[in-house]
Amino acid sequence: MNKGTGLHNIDPEAPVALVKWRSNQDVVAEVIELCNGFKDLDSSMKVVIKPNLVSWTDKYKFPPFGVLTTSVVIEGVVRALKHYGVSDITITEGTAIQEEMGSATHIIYDRLNYHYLTKKYGVTLSDLNNEKYVKTKLGPFVLQISKRILDAEYLVNVPVLKTHSITKISLGFKNLKGCLSQNSKKKCHNIDHSIDEYLVYLGAKLYPQLVVVDGLYALERGPMYIGHAHRPNLLLASRDMFSVDCIGASLMGFQPSEVAHLRDFAKLYGRSLDTEGIEMKGLRPSEYTLHLEYKTPWSEDGLVPEIFVKQGIEGVQMRDPGQSLCTGCSKVFPAVLMMLLAAYTGEPYDNIEILSGKGIKPSGKARTTFFMGDCNYAANRNSEQVKGGVRLKGCPPYIGEVIKVFNEHGIGFKEESNARLFEHKVKVYSRLDYPYEDYYFRLEERQ
């Protein structure tokens, strides 16, 4: 049996199972059994489950659909492990920390009532943000990885079926980025190396024994709540992370060769990108293919989001920050975009530009340049191309700070507009009849 994470868990011959979800956690056991998912599991092993609980907010009603791993799938994994005889099970995550918005691992555990798992199954809940990290060499890089994950005897990776504005897909490989320290997560966003480069070596180091992809919802233009969640009701599983990510990519409408970290991993470790060579169990992926966009469209000149052009908004530019936008600012940047949309009165903005991300430079043409985040401010504050520089403090900036500074400079934004954005998403999903019960353990027990 393979013990611990790493390349020894690679198995090109391992099948990938695809099944339809039914309102019964035993479907998780079914998809695991189909792919012989517990082949390398001994019931005495210490098992760690890594879901995708990327962020949260207590300020507004949070629409979790397609953003977070569903709780019904997590409980299904726990039930399958307990039925197999495993007694030592830990669920762990390192949620993006943003105090002003009420985002932290312990908050998500509390709001979704993960403590139910502790009471019913004896599961341990772990917050990676409060635990030890180990400086680890990953190919040409050095990052801080969770000691708990490095010490795991058996790792179950439970990502969501979603797109990502930078890496195109966010599945098994991308979900492992949550095992890094906050500083190392930020370090992965720079202009010299793509996130995909880091994911290749991180995936090799933390290659798990089992991946269960939660496809109850599939997020378009992810990875955050700004995207739109579809509901394909699928579960995907395999003992081989590369294979399951290739099938997951194809389910969302991408060729694996279009995904840089899959392409580079295949080249480095001699894997094939041809999904026809992967043994499938259960359903045929070709019959359930979605065609999802992975990022917000930008204007042809690259100066503003396409929606700004459609809405006739003038006097502002905000270049696509691309891969240099870290996890923290990836939550704030869409909100800033929506603020500018909401605050527009029909009169052009006063020749302003918003800079976010480490690689975005000032145009030299703006009357006022807003630096969003500490890294952009440090990189550009002394630039001769800045006529009037204004700092949005924080790493990432607080929404309240952005609103305050915008209002001081004549951009009349009210926080109610941000609340309406969340309310709109909630109403959309309500009309689609998406049940919150998929996320909240024992809804009646919520406080």
Looking from the CA of 274 toward its CB, the CA atoms found within 13 Å total: 4
Rounded mean pLDDT of 84-113? 92
Span of 266-280, 297-311, 400-414 with lowest mean pLDDT: 400-414
pLDDT higher than threshold 60 for residue 444: no
Rounded mean pLDDT of 415-430? 84
Rounded mean pLDDT of 390-419? 82
pLDDT higher than threshold 50 for residue 447: no
pLDDT higher than threshold 70 for residue 260: yes
Degrees (nearest 5) of the Cα angle 426, 427, 430? 90
Query: Which residues, other chains included, contact 415 with Cβ-Cβ below 8 Å and sequence gap of 6+?
Result: 399, 400, 403
pLDDT higher than threshold 60 for residue 165: yes
Higher per-residue confidence, 331 vs 194: 194
pLDDT higher than threshold 80 for residue 322: no
Residue 82 CB burial class (10 angstroms; 0-12, 13-18, ≥19)? middle
| Cis peptide upstream of residue 297 (ω within 30 degrees of 0) | no
Rounded mean pLDDT of 80-92? 98
Higher per-residue confidence, 185 vs 101: 185
pLDDT higher than threshold 70 for residue 324: no
* Residue 328: per-residue pLDDT: 66
CATH among 3.40.50.11440, 3.30.479.30, 3.40.50.11890, 2.60.40.10 for 7-294+434-445: 3.40.50.11440
Query: Which residues, other chains included, contact 338 with Cβ-Cβ below 8 Å and sequence gap of 6+?
Result: 226, 417, 418, 421
Rounded mean pLDDT of 163-178? 96
How far apart (Å, rounded) are the C-alpha atoms in residues 18 and 52? 20
* Residue 445: per-residue pLDDT: 47
pLDDT higher than threshold 80 for residue 411: yes
* Residue 344: per-residue pLDDT: 87
The pair of structure tokens assigned to 404 is 């305050």
Give residue-wise pLDDT tens across range 209-232: 999 999 999 999 999 888 999 999
* Residue 25: per-residue pLDDT: 67
pLDDT higher than threshold 90 for residue 320: no
Do 234 and 166 form a contact (C-beta atoms < 8 A)?
Answer: no
| Element containing residue 335 per DSSP (H, E) | helix 327-343
How far apart (Å, rounded) are the C-alpha atoms in residues 442 and 200? 38
* Residue 63: per-residue pLDDT: 95
pLDDT higher than threshold 80 for residue 186: yes
Higher per-residue confidence, 191 vs 127: 127
pLDDT higher than threshold 90 for residue 327: no
- Domain range list for the chain: 7-294+434-445, 306-413
Of 342, 363, 361, 343, give the one whose Cα is nearest residue 352. Answer: 363
Span of 201-205, 282-286, 316-320 with lowest mean pLDDT: 316-320
Chain-centroid distance, C-alpha 384: 36
pLDDT higher than threshold 60 for residue 443: no
Count of CB atoms within 10 A of residue 206's CB? 29
* Residue 109: per-residue pLDDT: 97
pLDDT higher than threshold 60 for residue 446: no
